A and B are shown apart, each in its own frame.
Chain A
């Protein structure tokens, strides 16, 4: 459960609690009918069904479906079932804005939800703000907390890249080495890592020896490796795109197992089996993971429940096809965001679009979210001013072809000063 602290009224909270308790004692069919209205809560799911985000969109869809099934089986939101209205945005910012508009004006959605790719979020959020449609994104970008969006855009279900990078730095300098070289793609995504990591490493007494930017269209990397300084202790890599497997293979051939420690982000290899032929060189290297793809011995009962509900096995692949590896490090964001929407609507006594502002305030009032079935990735802390959630980050090492968690960062490790206070903007 999330903790409402600020704006949700006492009466509202009591009503919700009483309603929840009453609902829990009723048979399933009766839970909907006792509510003020059995009309479903319509959640517009802005899905990357086609375009470059389609592989992610598929798994975001599955996590969403599973969460909705669970919430509805437990009585829905305020006794009303959730209805998902999925719209394909083609992973296209312009279409993203059109989709948001359709949610508000055509489909009668209560909220919009589920956007992953940052450029689509940035293209869509202004429209959501104008239409005053609560827009819950699951994109991992720092754009929400940076202040570039608006009061109606929130990211309560997944942490942002800046907090991830900051939280990683102490582990890198303490456990792997203080002399770091970065290899990153030469555009925004890579710069985000570059600009967040270097100060964090220096704050830990480490040093970034070189920052090697690789042109985004590059498909052969061996020529860049001689630029890696000889005294490098850790190679931090965040390569993405189709050539990432080639990058790993050529890196392995270049160093022949004798090189520096490797630290990467699982984004590079989401939906790819870590034990694929050609990736042997990753053995022993470390990865940031949003959520541990391979089942850990101490996995919480909540996460095990989540795996089963989404249909994912102990290696993070579909239970129907072990080769179909999920986007495990990110898709929990959909599950958790839907639970936040539920908690927010219940705290706000949400009845319909007239209560959208109250919903925003109710979510802004949230702070600590304990590890639970609603938050299987781990405990979180929401910052109502910046609309961004913070949480634990996981560092895993590839051991015998399995991602084994070796470190969990504290929530405090990932915090950074507020860059915005959205609550000062008008609702």
Chain B
């Protein structure tokens, strides 16, 4: 009898003795995060109040860019060709290199360098993806050699919707695949993804990249957050978000993609929490592994995105009613969706900050070993000390709050620009402002709450 009982008892014996960053989380739980979360929410609420009483032009003024006396650099296909070569080499290394994802350059490049670092830098600085994407160079080269343009025309009626699907497929792989970091598995996924879109670009030209390829759409969306951008044909510098005001409104499908960026990022945080596991009926201290949550995570990803779009639309509809505005829902979503980009970017940076600090060391380690500069000792010491954990948490929280403040400023400037008076703009935005205060609290809670996966 003991055998049977013991089997059940020991089933999960060690599981949960420590989670990935248990000590870090342990110290986060010791912080007075409720106070910090309240302070963050209050900061955003105060911004709302200030905007309601300040002259209408103020929000727009802070986003006015400064033209730089530098010509806009032209896209260099050679960099893209180099990126293609590097990508193909990485795929080969994924198939033939070390099986350990922390030692394999493909896993490190995709998840640490591209997904964490380059996406953040693209959002913080500006559009360099146009030079280093692994498709446009090869497409230009083929066009030059054959002397022919892409044979097919992209059906414009499809808009960016295929891109939304493409990004969701990527997010699904990130969040629901059992082993997205496994080098060989990742190599196959990257090879399929790259080939599929390469064929698309060769057949349909650049339109494919700009409307169908999910990563490029994400990168171009976040480029709107960059300090550097284009204004009147010149390179210009402005406060994060200035390009949202300087650029034309996105199409409805692109606006939806921007919402999906935020929704997917939010679910990326939510799916690790004790709360989510409780909903799934899983014990967070004995997480059964990603294999056990493929279905729930895919469903969660879709529902979070649908829920976010619905709540956002309701806030806009309510705001329009309060302000007596007659604009249609499509126009409102197109007008305000880009103002959520700073929140999505801020959450991306905050969510991945600890991973970056830890896994970034493996990237350095790989570089160092490859260049013959010796072994790099990877340390998690900064996650074991209350002082550094507090600093990291406050940095994450600061980034999240800053993202929301910028989002509010942008939304307000957008409303003013749409011809509303300060008072009307404030009224129109009251529900959206409430949404953003709530999202601030939610984002900070995601950083503070215990996680089990």
> B-contacting residues of A (Cβ < 8 Å)?
47, 49-56, 58, 85-88, 90-95, 107, 116-120, 122, 139-143, 146-148, 161, 185, 187-189, 191-192, 195, 216-217, 219, 240-246, 249, 267, 270-273, 276-278, 311, 317-318, 320-325, 327, 419-420
Contact (Cβ within 8 A) A272 B384 = yes
CA distance A95 to B7 in the complex (A): 20
Hey, which chain B residues are within 8 Å of A86, CB to CB?
A: 98-100, 103
Hey, which chain B residues are within 8 Å of A187, CB to CB?
A: 12, 283, 285-286
Contact (Cβ within 8 A) B26 A246 = yes
Near A by CB (< 8 A), chain B positions 408-453 give: 450-453
CA distance A249 to B284 in the complex (A): 21
Hey, which chain A residues are within 8 Å of B148, CB to CB?
A: none
Interface centre among A118, A187, A241 (most CB of B within 10 A): A241
B445 to A: closest C-beta gap in Å:
13
B 5-36 to A, binary, CB cutoff 8 A, 1 in contact else 0: 11111111111111111110111111000000
Q: A51-B20, A88-B181, A216-B285 are in contact. Are A119 and B377 (CB under 8 A)?
A: no
B 280-310 to A, binary, CB cutoff 8 A, 1 in contact else 0: 0001111111111000000000000000000
Residue of B nearest to A220 (CB): B29
Contact of A118 among B3, B10, B18, B386 (CB under 8 A): B10
Contact of B19 among A52, A92, A161 (CB under 8 A): A52
Pairs A–B under 8 Å by Cβ, sample size 12:
A52-B19, A56-B18, A117-B14, A117-B15, A118-B13, A139-B13, A146-B10, A147-B3, A187-B283, A216-B284, A242-B19, A276-B385
17 A-B pairs besides A189-B286, A271-B380 with CB distance below 8 A are A55-B21, A55-B23, A88-B179, A90-B178, A90-B290, A93-B289, A185-B285, A188-B8, A189-B14, A189-B16, A189-B285, A242-B22, A272-B26, A273-B385, A276-B385, A278-B30, A321-B379
Hey, which chain B residues are within 8 Å of A92, CB to CB?
A: 178-179, 288-292
Contact of A241 among B5, B285, B292, B378 (CB under 8 A): B285
Hey, which chain A residues are within 8 Å of B452, CB to CB?
A: 52, 241
A239 to B: closest C-beta gap in Å:
10
Hey, which chain A residues are within 8 Å of B377, CB to CB?
A: 311, 318, 320-321
Residue of B nearest to A51 (CB): B289
Residue of B nearest to A140 (CB): B14
Contact (Cβ within 8 A) A93 B288 = yes
Hey, which chain A residues are within 8 Å of B384, CB to CB?
A: 271-273, 276, 323-325
CA distance A122 to B9 in the complex (A): 12
Contact (Cβ within 8 A) A243 B289 = no
Whether a CB of chain A sits under 8 angstroms from the CB of B101 is yes
Contact (Cβ within 8 A) B10 A195 = no
Contact (Cβ within 8 A) B286 A55 = no
Contact (Cβ within 8 A) A141 B13 = yes
Contact (Cβ within 8 A) B18 A146 = no
Whether a CB of chain A sits under 8 angstroms from the CB of B116 is no
Interface size classification for chain B = 35 or more
Contact (Cβ within 8 A) B7 A148 = yes
CA distance A140 to B17 in the complex (A): 11
Contact (Cβ within 8 A) B450 A118 = no
Contact (Cβ within 8 A) A140 B13 = yes
Hey, which chain A residues are within 8 Å of B119, CB to CB?
A: none
CA distance A37 to B414 in the complex (A): 74
Interface centre among A185, A191, A324 (most CB of B within 10 A): A324
Near A by CB (< 8 A), chain B positions 253-301 give: 274, 277-278, 283-292
Contact (Cβ within 8 A) A51 B10 = no
Interface centre among A47, A54, A322 (most CB of B within 10 A): A54
Residue of A nearest to B11 (CB): A188
Contact (Cβ within 8 A) A241 B9 = no
Hey, which chain A residues are within 8 Å of B5, CB to CB?
A: 195
Q: A188-B11, A243-B26, A419-B6 are in contact. Are A55 and B18 (CB under 8 A)?
A: yes
Hey, which chain A residues are within 8 Å of B380, CB to CB?
A: 55, 58, 271, 324
Whether a CB of chain A sits under 8 angstroms from the CB of B382 is yes
CA distance A15 to B163 in the complex (A): 67
Whether a CB of chain A sits under 8 angstroms from the CB of B59 is no
CA distance A377 to B26 in the complex (A): 28
Contact (Cβ within 8 A) B381 A317 = yes
Contact (Cβ within 8 A) B10 A143 = yes
Contact (Cβ within 8 A) A243 B13 = no
CA distance A51 to B19 in the complex (A): 8
Q: A143-B7, A278-B386 are in contact. Are A52 and B291 (CB under 8 A)?
A: no
Contact of B451 among A49, A242, A277 (CB under 8 A): A242
CA distance A195 to B23 in the complex (A): 28
4 closest A-B pairs by beta carbon, nearest first, are A92-B289, A323-B381, A118-B13, A242-B25
Whether a CB of chain A sits under 8 angstroms from the CB of B102 is yes
Hey, which chain A residues are within 8 Å of B9, CB to CB?
A: 142, 188, 191-192, 195
Hey, which chain B residues are within 8 Å of A272, CB to CB?
A: 22-23, 26, 384
Q: A49-B100, A88-B99, A88-B101 are in contact. Are A219 and B13 (CB under 8 A)?
A: no
Hey, which chain B residues are within 8 Å of A195, CB to CB?
A: 5, 9
Q: A93-B289, A119-B15, A187-B285 are in contact. Are A47 and B100 (CB under 8 A)?
A: yes
Contact of A322 among B26, B289, B381, B450 (CB under 8 A): B381
Q: A90-B290, A321-B381 are in contact. Are A118 and B26 (CB under 8 A)?
A: no
Contact of A270 among B18, B101, B181 (CB under 8 A): B18
CA distance A291 to B44 in the complex (A): 50
Hey, which chain B residues are within 8 Å of A242, CB to CB?
A: 19, 22, 25-26, 28-29, 450-451
Interface centre among A185, A219, A272 (most CB of B within 10 A): A272
CA distance A94 to B2 in the complex (A): 26
Hey, which chain B residues are within 8 Å of A143, CB to CB?
A: 6-7, 10-11, 13
Residue of A nearest to B5 (CB): A195
CA distance A3 to B30 in the complex (A): 49
Hey, which chain A residues are within 8 Å of B290, CB to CB?
A: 51, 90, 92, 95
CA distance A187 to B283 in the complex (A): 8
CA distance A271 to B382 in the complex (A): 12
